[in-house]
Amino acid sequence: MPEDARSFAVAAHGGQRYGDLPYSFHLDEVVALLAPYGSQAQIIGYLHDVIEDTAVTETDIRDRFGPLVADCVCLLTDPSGASRAERKAATYARLATITGPTELALLVKTADRLANVRSCVLDDRRGLMAVYRNEHASFRRSAYREGLCDPLWLELDTLLAVNRVAVDHA
The per-residue pLDDT for 1 is 86
Looking at the DSSP bridge assignments, the partners of residue 18 are 21
| CATH code of the domain made up of 2-168 | 1.10.3210.10
Domain ranges, ordered by start, for the chain: 2-168
Per-residue pLDDT reduced to its tens digit, 100-134: 999 999 999 999 999 999 999 999 999 999 999 99
Per-residue pLDDT reduced to its tens digit, 53-64: 999 999 999 999
Of 124, 152, 160, nearest to 29 (Cα)? Answer: 152
